[in-house]
């Protein structure tokens, strides 16, 4: 593949698949979360406004009038930029791509709270109208244990500032992040904070522990115990049960999530979503293993996909093979398969 005449970072949110990607910073200014190895080998740096503007012009020439409607600013946190620099970049971006309707970025709570409400409004007025925030958990205990470097208070304050400025906000949460030890507090506190924040979108991710990551070391030292797939669905049920007064769109939307069909809008879809989780939890253990393996191997997306007799037969053959060779190894296999997609 030929390289682009402008710089690109390594990742973008799932919802930004068709977006123009413009890199404002390299890496993550925090880079200490034990569950994250996205930027582990990358030193954080700000890019100069001149350099970013050059990239915007290069992108405009390269895409030759393509009418992008969405743009995502990479990498980990554009809010570390000085407000006037960020506004200059946004202004240049809108001038070069007048068809843009949405410009988005990741935003760290701890960085955003350093801006004033007036600065947030100016940034919004310059064009940044969507934020992706990795709150991951609403529990201080969980956030501290995974060294996230943010607090429930900063999550709430930054989310309010963004909402007051008129930005659309997505909050990411991670199932299983509390391990088995803190699963309940993780679910309850995450529900509490989300119920206060009422983000426009809640996006679910499921924990996967990368070899060599900080969380992997915490696991080896018995500080963190990975929950099973079923425990994480039970955790999600507790979370949904405790979400109150919100109007968010809630979605399991990443290929790492087990039950992709658990997506809908609160409050009207709440009971339907809980019913899907209950349907999974009420399966007999053998069928649950069958479904999880089929899902992790990519044959199933929803529970009713088990009705496909051709796929069912194939998946069941794989289940039986594993039973013969690794009868106690299913959870490890599920986790290994999950880690392939993160």
Closer to ligand SF4 by Cβ: residue 36 or 92? 36
Radius of gyration (Cα) for the chain, nearest Å?
21
- Is residue 138 within 8 Å of residue 172, measured between CB atoms? no
Interaction residues for ligand SF4, span 64-103 (CB under 6 A): 76
134 binds ligand SF4 (CB under 6 A): yes
d(CA 163, CA 102) in angstroms, rounded, equals 15
Stretch that binds ligand SF4, among 35-43, 81-89, 172-180, 303-311 (CB under 6 A): 35-43
Bridge pairing between strands 102-106 and 263-265:
unpaired
- Shortest separation between residue 81's beta carbon and ligand SF4, angstroms: 16
31 binds ligand SF4 (CB under 6 A): yes
209 binds ligand SF4 (CB under 6 A): no
- Shortest separation between residue 199's beta carbon and ligand SF4, angstroms: 17
List the structure tokens of 199. 């983000």
- Is residue 252 within 8 Å of residue 204, measured between CB atoms? yes
Number of shown-chain residues binding ligand SF4 (CB under 6 A): 10
Phi-psi region of 89 (alpha: psi -120 to 50; beta: other; left: phi over 0): alpha
33 binds ligand SF4 (CB under 6 A): yes
Of positions 20, 21, 36, 173, contacts ligand SF4 by CB under 6 A = 36
Please choose, from the candidates 261, 259, 262, the residue with its C-alpha nearest in 3D space to the C-alpha of residue 294: 259
214 binds ligand SF4 (CB under 6 A): no
**Total Cβ atoms within 10 A of residue 116:** 11
Closer to ligand SF4 by Cβ: residue 108 or 288? 108
Contact positions vs ligand SF4 (CB under 6 A): 28, 30-31, 33, 36, 38-39, 76, 108, 134
């Amino acid at each position: 593949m030929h390289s682009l005449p402008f710089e690109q970072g390594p990742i973008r949110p799932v919802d930004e698949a068709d977006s123009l990607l413009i890199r404002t910073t390299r890496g993550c200014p925090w880079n200490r979360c034990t569950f994250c190895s996205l930027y582990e080998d990358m030193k954080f740096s700000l890019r100069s406004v001149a350099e970013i503007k050059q990239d915007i012009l290069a992108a405009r020439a390269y895409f030759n009038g393509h009418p992008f409607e969405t743009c995502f600013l990479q990498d980990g946190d554009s809010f570390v930029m000085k407000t006037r620099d960020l506004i200059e970049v946004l202004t240049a971006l809108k001038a070069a791509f007048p068809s843009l309707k949405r410009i988005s970025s990741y935003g760290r709570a701890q960085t955003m709270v350093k801006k004033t409400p007036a600065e947030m409004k100016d940034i919004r007025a310059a064009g940044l109208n969507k934020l992706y925030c990795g709150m991951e958990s609403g529990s201080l205990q969980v956030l501290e244990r995974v060294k996230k470097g943010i607090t429930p208070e900063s999550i709430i304050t930054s989310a309010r500032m963004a909402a007051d400025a008129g930005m659309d906000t997505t909050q990411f949460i991670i199932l299983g992040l509390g391990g088995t030890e803190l699963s309940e507090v993780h679910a309850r506190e995450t529900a509490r904070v989300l119920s206060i924040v009422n983000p426009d979108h809640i996006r679910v991710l499921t924990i996967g522990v990368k070899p060599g990551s900080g969380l992997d070391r915490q696991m080896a030292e018995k500080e963190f115990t990975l929950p099973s797939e079923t425990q994480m669905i039970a955790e999600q049920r507790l979370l949904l049960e405790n979400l109150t007064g919100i109007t968010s769109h809630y979605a399991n939307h990443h290929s790492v999530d087990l039950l992709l069909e658990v997506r809908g809008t609160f409050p009207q879809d709440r009971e339907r979503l809980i019913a899907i989780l209950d349907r999974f939890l009420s399966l007999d253990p053998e069928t649950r293993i069958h479904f999880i393996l089929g899902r992790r191997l990519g044959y199933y997306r929803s529970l009713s996909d088990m009705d496909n007799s051709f796929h069912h037969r194939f998946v069941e053959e794989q289940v039986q093979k594993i039973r013969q060779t690794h009868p106690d190894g299913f959870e490890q296999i599920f986790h290994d398969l999950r880690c392939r997609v993160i």
